[in-house]
A = this chain, B = another copy of it.
Amino acid sequence: MAQQGTDKITEAEESKARLRLWLRMLKSTRRVEAVLRDRLRSEFDTTLPRFDVMAALARFDTGLKMSALSGVLRVSNGNVTGIVDRLAEDGHVVRVQVPGDRRASMVRLTRKGEEEFARQAAAHEAWIAELLADFDAAEADLLSDRFDAVSHRDET
């Protein structure tokens, strides 16, 4: 009886501890995103979705189709077309025709876009290093692995 009671309390406490962890994770993530958003705006006059699009393009020398870009990003409320239009206006990306497919166009970084993204990415990495300064490399790697489990849980 007593044992059963103890187990029940433990399970409830475990559940509450996980809920607290989730709420803190969410708060930390939003805090970091808010800082990134502010600094991208003030230091580079750009936005988080624009930075994310450039980051995706930086991984593909030949560029990406618009559809692939939407997929890579999963910008929930992002308007990929609008983001690409703005990056094109700034001379950071160009649209190029897909050989053999007149209706499809690819987007890729220009040389200027590559240089601008290199600057932004270096600043971004330094900001993250500062914001997560409480985690040393070993702890950060350990936690990365632990969170990987969360990302892949219940995936079907």
**CB pair B140 A25 closer than 8 Å:** no
**CB pair A149 B134 closer than 8 Å:** yes
If A132-B150, A150-B131 touch, does A140 touch B17 (CB 8 Å cutoff)?
Answer: yes
A36: nearest chain-B partner, CB-CB: B22
If A35-B154, A131-B150, A153-B131 touch, does A144 touch B17 (CB 8 Å cutoff)?
Answer: yes
Given the complex, which residues of B lie within 8 Å of A26, measured CB to CB? 29, 33
**CB pair B154 A28 closer than 8 Å:** no
**CB pair A150 B31 closer than 8 Å:** yes
Given the complex, which residues of B lie within 8 Å of A74, measured CB to CB? 30
**CB pair A25 B29 closer than 8 Å:** yes
- As for how many copies of this chain the complex holds, the number is 2
A24 at the interface (CB under 8 A from B): yes
Interface band, chain A: 35 or more
Distance in angstroms between the alpha carbons of A22 and B135 in the assembled complex: 11
CB proximity to B under 8 Å, residues A6-23: 10, 13-22
Given the complex, which residues of B lie within 8 Å of A134, measured CB to CB? 146, 149-150, 153
Contact of A125 among B19, B32, B138, B140 (CB under 8 A): B19
Given the complex, which residues of B lie within 8 Å of A148, measured CB to CB? 24, 28
Distance in angstroms between the alpha carbons of A30 and B74 in the assembled complex: 10
Provide the A25-57 mask, 1 if CB < 8 A to any CB of B, else 0: 111111111010000000000000000000000
**CB pair B32 A150 closer than 8 Å:** yes
